[in-house]
């Protein structure tokens, strides 16, 4: 408890305090009020980073939830042999360090890497490129890494949710002659309401705060094509020595995350009534 | 009501397709790591003559290519992850016991603050932490990594152990009390022996999170002999990826290996903990 207060809450207040100063980390800081916040609104790197974070929500949250739902829907139809194996494998990416995931995908998407070999086999040899270094595609391919990491978590979450749905609902749907799709829409999807909200909050937060994979896979490049907020914060603090400014980005990020999490919960509660 | 044969085939096709999607990038880097430096690997190259020289090279780093060997980095990571796990387990037993079985003034407010710590984006605290530890002259020490992570882990640990203590039967506690056990005696002799599965899940999860942590180490550690395994991998990949891809791949596999082994043996604990961690939000 004390440790938590000392090392989590205190630094946040410290960050809020520092964000009001123009400080290089060494000399005496100068109080500048909200100037740092005014500056970050018009900073193209900050704008790009939050825009990218928004796009990454599609890959880190929406897409994995969609895939997780499809898998959960498929798995409710009948018992599957080797379920433990499938579950363990699909969840595996969650357990691997972001740094390692980044190394795997840097190789996977490299110009001579395995992904391009698949493209060649499919007759798309003329499309081969270093995907994470491509100005048009880097952010998308970084996003696919997020999808790869997350969809297994969503699936496991949804499958455990479907086990709480009363089997009589499924029996009723089948007696009524509902097919796989009807059954999914009428029974599984409504039954997973809470799990979907939880998954959406969790994965959206992860999309917004992401750092490890991007720092190690692209360092924000090429250009600023894959800048994300935590990365811009890090660079300002330790590369450009703009500590006060970097803290302003940190506080903004924390506020955005809390706001988005609250908003999703509010919308979900309203929808329930 | 039976499902059709056609549908069963669809199910397994979907599952196998997704499994391949997960496994293919991972196997790619494992296969790359099983080659020699001199093999010019392209694509998904099956190692027909598997070779561990890249692994031993990464483990010792004795060719003078810079950076400490992964044996050193592993020792650091084990110290950090092990210490964080033990301290936060002990603290979480204490706080979880208090929140789970006792009522005290302001307990709801304090618990709400603890919960805040779980959803908290710790990225936002890293920069002030750097300057706090600088003024304490604790940069470049493993304690600078241990203490903040204990703070984060105890948030979740409190939540987790509180749920366990709440679910343990009240009659058991009262019976022990009547027999004259102190509050500590109840915890030590009656409740803890039953808490082993819950503690196991908590410890696994905390260990894995701490082992995988990257940003704190990146910010707080500069000395190369104090780096954790993921941090060392990041620096090493930055300098050696172009020149020696098989060794970088081997290093990456090494960093993931202990966690994957733990995961495969304890996957039930692991998934249960992660789900609880998700649902509490």
Cα–Cα distance for residue pair B183/B189, rounded to 1 Å = 10
Is B155's pLDDT higher than 70? yes
**The pLDDT of residue B176:** 82
**The pLDDT of residue A97:** 95
State the angle between helix axes of B267-279 and B245-265 in degrees (0 to 180), rounded to the nearest 10. Answer: 90
Judging by beta carbons within 10 Å of its beta carbon (0-12, 13-18, 19+), is residue A133 exposed, middle or buried?
A: middle
> How many angstroms away from the CA of A190 is the closest CA of chain B?
17
Mean pLDDT of B137-149: 90
DSSP A158-180: HHHHHTTS-HHHHHHHHHTT--H
* Alpha-helical runs (H) found in chain B: 5-33, 53-60, 70-101, 107-119, 126-135, 142-167, 170-178, 183-185, 196-212, 215-220, 229-240, 245-265, 267-279
Rg of chain B over Cα atoms, rounded to whole angstroms, equals: 23
Summarised one tens digit per residue, pLDDT across range B48-75 is: 878 888 888 888 877 666 678 888 899 9
Which of the 8 DSSP states describes residue B194? G
Distance of CA A76 to the CA centre of its chain: 27
**Closest in A8, A14, A91 to B122, CB measured:** A8
Enter the tokens of residue A95: 């357990």
**The pLDDT of residue B281:** 45
Residue owning tokens 């190692």: B47
User: Do the chains contact at A8 and B212, CB–CB below 8 Å?
Assistant: no
- The mean pLDDT value of chain A amounts to 88
Fold of A53-227: MetI-like fold (1.10.3720)
C-alpha closest to that of A68 among A156, A143, A161? A156
- The mean pLDDT value of chain B amounts to 85
- The distance in angstroms from the start CA to the end CA of chain B is 37
Enter the tokens of residue B144: 């600078």
Q: Where are the beta strands (DSSP E) in chain A?
A: 21-22, 30-31
Q: Which carries the bigger pLDDT value, residue A12 or residue B12? A: B12
Percent of chain A scoring above 70 in pLDDT: 94
Query: Which residue ranges form the domains of chain B, and what is each CATH number?
Result: 70-279 (1.10.3720.10)
**The pLDDT of residue A3:** 53
> Is residue A155 very low, low, confident or very high in pLDDT (cuts 50, 70, 90)?
very high
Cα–Cα distance for residue pair A51/A78, rounded to 1 Å = 42
Residue owning tokens 């890090």: A234
CA–CA distances in Å: residue B36 to residues A253, B236, B243, B250? 44, 18, 13, 10
Which element (helix H / strand E) includes A200? helix A193-209
- Write out chain A residues lying below 8 Å of B127, CB-based: 15, 18, 233, 237, 243, 246-247, 250
Cβ contacts of A129 within 8 Å, gap of 6 or more: A111, A116, A137
Mean pLDDT of B242-266: 90
**The pLDDT of residue B63:** 66
**The pLDDT of residue A2:** 54
Summarised one tens digit per residue, pLDDT across range A35-78 is: 888 888 889 999 999 999 999 999 999 999 999 999 998 888 88
Give residues 51 to 90 of B whose Cβ lies within 8 Å of A. none
Report the chain A residue with the minimal C-alpha distance to residue B251. Answer: A100
Q: What residue ranges do the domains of chain A occupy? A: 53-227
Is B223's pLDDT higher than 90? no
C-alpha closest to that of B207 among B251, B270, B158? B270
**The pLDDT of residue B65:** 61
Enter the tokens of residue A133: 């270094």
Cα–Cα distance for residue pair B106/A15, rounded to 1 Å = 27
Disruptive mutation site among A4, A74, A132, A146 for chain B (greatest number of B CBs within 10 Å): A4
Tell me the three-class secondary structure of B115-142, residue by residue.
HHHHHCCHHHHHHHHHHHHHHCCCCCCH
**The pLDDT of residue A180:** 82
User: Do the chains contact at B255 and A91, CB–CB below 8 Å?
Assistant: no
Cα–Cα distance for residue pair B41/A115, rounded to 1 Å = 14
Summarised one tens digit per residue, pLDDT across range A215-264 is: 999 988 898 999 999 999 999 988 888 888 999 999 899 889 989 988 98
Report the chain A residue with the minimal C-alpha distance to residue B87. Answer: A3
**The pLDDT of residue B227:** 92
**ipTM for the predicted complex:** 0.88
Mean pLDDT of B192-199: 85
CA–CA distances in Å: residue B71 to residues A22, A33, B228, B232, B270? 42, 48, 11, 11, 26
Q: Where are the beta strands (DSSP E) in A143-243?
A: none
Kindly tell me the number of DSSP H helices and DSSP E strands found in chain A: 16, 2
B257 in contact with chain A, both atoms CB, cutoff 8 A: no
B15 in contact with chain A, both atoms CB, cutoff 8 A: yes
Disruptive mutation site among B4, B42, B128, B236 for chain A (greatest number of A CBs within 10 Å): B128
C-alpha closest to that of B208 among A72, A14, A95? A95
**The pLDDT of residue B1:** 46
Residue B49 falls in which region: left (phi positive, over 0), alpha (psi -120 to 50) or beta: beta
Mean pLDDT of A179-203: 89
């Amino acid at each position: 408890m004390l440790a938590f207060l000392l090392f989590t809450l205190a630094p946040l207040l410290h960050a809020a305090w520092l964000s009001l100063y123009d400080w290089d980390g060494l000399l005496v800081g100068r109080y500048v009020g909200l100037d740092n916040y005014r500056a970050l609104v018009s900073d193209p790197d900050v704008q790009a980073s939050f825009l990218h974070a928004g796009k990454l929500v599609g890959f880190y949250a929406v897409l994995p939830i969609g895939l997780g739902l499809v898998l959960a829907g498929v798995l409710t139809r009948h018992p599957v042999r080797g379920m433990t194996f499938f579950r363990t494998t699909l969840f595996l990416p969650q357990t691997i360090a972001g740094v390692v995931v980044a190394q795997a995908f840097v190789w996977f998407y490299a110009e001579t890497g395995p992904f391009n070999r698949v493209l060649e086999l499919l007759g798309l040899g003329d499309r081969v490129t270093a995907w994470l270094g491509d100005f048009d595609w880097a952010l998308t391919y970084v996003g696919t890494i997020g999808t790869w990491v997350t969809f297994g978590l969503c699936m496991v979450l949804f499958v455990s949710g479907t086990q709480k749905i009363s089997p009589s609902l499924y029996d009723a749907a089948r007696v009524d002659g509902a097919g796989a799709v009807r059954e999914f829409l009428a029974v599984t999807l409504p039954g997973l309401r809470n799990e979907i909200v939880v998954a959406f909050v969790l994965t959206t937060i992860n999309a917004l705060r992401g750092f490890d994979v991007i720092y190690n896979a692209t360092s924000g490049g090429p250009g600023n094509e894959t800048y994300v907020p935590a990365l811009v914060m890090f660079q300002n603090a330790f590369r450009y020595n703009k500590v006060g400014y970097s803290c302003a980005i940190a506080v903004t990020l924390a506020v955005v995350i809390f706001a988005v999490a609250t908003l999703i919960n509010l919308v979900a509660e309203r929808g329930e009534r | 009501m039976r499902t059709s044969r056609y549908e069963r085939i669809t199910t397994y096709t979907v599952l196998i397709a997704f499994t391949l999607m997960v496994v293919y990038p991972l196997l790619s880097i494992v296969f790359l790591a099983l080659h020699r430096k001199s093999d010019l690997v392209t694509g998904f190259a099956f190692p027909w003559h598997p070779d561990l020289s890249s692994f031993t090279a990464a483990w010792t780093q004795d060719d003078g290519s810079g950076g400490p060997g992964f044996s050193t980095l592993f020792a650091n990571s084990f110290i950090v992850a092990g210490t964080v796990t033990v301290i936060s387990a002990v603290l979480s037993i204490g706080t979880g016991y208090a929140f789970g079985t006792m009522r005290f003034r302001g307990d709801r407010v304090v618990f709400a603050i603890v919960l805040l710590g779980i959803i908290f984006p710790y990225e936002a605290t890293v920069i002030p932490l750097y300057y706090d530890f600088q003024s304490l002259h604790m940069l470049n020490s493993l304690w600078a990594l241990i203490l903040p992570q204990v703070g984060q882990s105890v948030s979740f640990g409190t939540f987790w152990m509180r749920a366990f203590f709440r679910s343990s039967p009240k009659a058991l506690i009262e019976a022990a009390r009547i027999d004259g056990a102190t509050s500590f005696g109840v915890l030590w002799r009656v409740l803890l022996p039953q808490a082993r599965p819950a503690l196991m899940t908590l410890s696994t999860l905390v260990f894995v999170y701490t082992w995988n942590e990257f940003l704190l180490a990146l910010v707080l550690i500069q000395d190369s002999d104090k780096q954790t395994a993921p941090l060392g991998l990041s620096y090493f990949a930055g300098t050696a990826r172009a020149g020696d891809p098989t060794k970088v791949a081997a290093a990456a596999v090494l960093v993931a290996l202990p966690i994957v082994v733990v995961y495969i043996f304890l996957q039930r604990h692991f998934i249960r903990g992660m789900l609880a961690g998700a649902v509490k939000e």
